[in-house]
């Protein structure tokens, strides 16, 4: 039912935008037709479709993550890394979800607020609509009008839930993998640092077996990150392609167009900026955590270890110098540099729209 409502909503928005193009609408009419909302719903539907299509892959990734999850950690530093990571994830997810849900309900309630305001001022008014959509019937009829308003309210909430479902899943899995990489760094730093009988008798530590176990964990995390990247690559491509256009359109609407929806559009802008920031930040966090494994090898007690242990550490060092990162369907790596590039592109689009609007 949810996916059906989302499909109907997206079809109505695309039909409305297409109608504006066919009728040779002006720049302000075209952008003001809630083009950014159509883009947002396209992203939501794309993410919903991707997760449904790859549901077996995601299920397997969750099961595998549970298998490698650190239940008991011996050292104090590792416990602190785990607790800090979980606490930060919980607060970030709550704030992200709260911001998006508050934004969609501002859109849903704005027509009611506008109606109440005009009634108090004695201005003739009727209940408006939440979104700009085309319908194959007359939506101004009293009963139909109410049903359309309920449909638009429900479908808007479903769209946000689809977006949150994908983004929160990505945040959770990326955060846990980043935490596991940092726990691995902590284990590597302790290699060869303990005073042992081998160090007293032979002048070097034999930690070869410990390194072998660390190599196995590292290889498993590398394989897991690659599987996770493959699962989210289409979703990340949708984010990268549409985010700049959505940000540009909502900025144009805030600055030049509908004043009644200004507050709702500002919340949408904040949600769009936050959504792409979260994706890029967590992807960049995994990139930095994977590169940090090489630094951990340098900070370990390799100089106190025997020859076989040093050779094994060298293998870990060489592999960790090849960074792990998420991509947009293999087209480009996603880091915080990608976020700045998206903002720059959005501003370029906005400048182009502003120039066209000023000439008209």
**pLDDT tens sequence across 35-74:** 788 888 888 888 888 888 888 988 888 888 888 887 777 7
Is the Cβ–Cβ distance between 152 and 44 less than 8 Å? no
Q: What is the pLDDT of residue 199?
A: 46
Q: What is the pLDDT of residue 197?
A: 45
- The conformational region for residue 194 under phi > 0 = left, psi -120 to 50 = alpha, else beta, is beta
Is the Cβ–Cβ distance between 208 and 312 less than 8 Å? yes
86-to-71, 147, 280, 313 alpha-carbon distances in Å: 13, 43, 19, 30
Is the Cβ–Cβ distance between 292 and 127 less than 8 Å? no
Whose structure tokens read 């995994």?
A: 286
Give the CA-trace dihedral at 23, 25, 29, 30, to 10 degrees: 90
Q: What is the pLDDT of residue 94?
A: 92
Q: What is the pLDDT of residue 274?
A: 86
The pTM (predicted TM-score) of the whole model is: 0.83
Using alpha carbons only, give the angle 72, 178, 183 rounded to the nearest 5 degrees. 35
Start-to-end C-alpha separation, the chain = 44
Distance between CA atoms of 10 and 134, rounded to whole angstroms? Answer: 10
Is the Cβ–Cβ distance between 56 and 14 less than 8 Å? no
Q: What is the pLDDT of residue 87?
A: 92
Helix (H, G, I), strand (E, B) or coil at 14: helix
Is the Cβ–Cβ distance between 252 and 358 less than 8 Å? no
Long-range pairs for 135-143: beta carbons < 8 A, 24 or more residues apart: 135/12
List of the chain residues with pLDDT < 50:
196-203
Is the Cβ–Cβ distance between 122 and 272 less than 8 Å? no
Residues facing residue 327 across a β-bridge: 333
Distance between CA atoms of 247 and 37, rounded to whole angstroms? Answer: 10
Distance between CA atoms of 36 and 247, rounded to whole angstroms? Answer: 7
């Amino acid at each position: 039912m949810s996916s059906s409502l989302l499909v109907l909503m997206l079809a109505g928005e695309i039909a409305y935008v297409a109608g504006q193009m066919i009728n040779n609408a002006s720049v302000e009419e075209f952008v003001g037709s809630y083009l950014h909302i159509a883009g947002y719903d396209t992203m939501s539907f794309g993410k919903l479709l991707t997760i449904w299509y790859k549901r077996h892959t995601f299920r397997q990734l969750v099961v595998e993550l549970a298998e490698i999850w650190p239940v008991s950690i011996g050292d104090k530093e590792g416990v602190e890394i785990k607790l800090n990571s979980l606490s930060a994830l919980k607060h970030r997810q709550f704030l992200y979800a709260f911001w998006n849900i508050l934004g969609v309900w501002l859109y849903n309630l704005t027509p009611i607020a506008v109606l109440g305001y005009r009634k108090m001022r004695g201005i003739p008014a009727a209940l408006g609509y939440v979104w700009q959509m085309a319908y194959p019937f007359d939506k101004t009829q009293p009963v139909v009008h109410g049903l359309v308003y309920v449909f638009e309210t429900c479908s808007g909430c479903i769209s946000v839930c689809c977006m949150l479902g994908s983004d929160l899943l990505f945040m959770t899995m990326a955060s846990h993998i980043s935490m596991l990489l940092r726990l691995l760094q902590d284990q590597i730093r302790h290699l060869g640092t303990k005073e042992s009988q081998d160090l007293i008798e032979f002048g070097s530590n034999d930690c070869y077996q410990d390194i072998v176990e660390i190599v196995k964990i590292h290889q498993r995390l590398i394989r897991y990150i690659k599987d996770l990247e493959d699962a989210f690559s289409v979703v990340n491509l949708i984010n990268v392609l549409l985010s700049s256009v959505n940000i540009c359109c909502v900025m144009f609407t805030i600055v030049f167009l509908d004043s009644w929806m200004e507050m709702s559009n500002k919340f949408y802008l904040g949600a769009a900026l936050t959504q792409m920031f979260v994706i890029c930040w967590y992807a960049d966090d995994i990139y930095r955590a994977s590169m940090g494994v090489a630094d951990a090898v340098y900070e370990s007690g390799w100089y106190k270890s025997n020859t076989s242990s040093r050779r094994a550490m060298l293998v870990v060092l060489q592999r960790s110098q090849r960074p792990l990162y998420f991509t947009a369907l293999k087209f480009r790596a996603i880091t915080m540099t990608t976020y700045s590039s998206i903002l720059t592109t959005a501003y370029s689009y906005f400048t182009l729209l502003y120039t066209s609007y000023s000439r008209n």
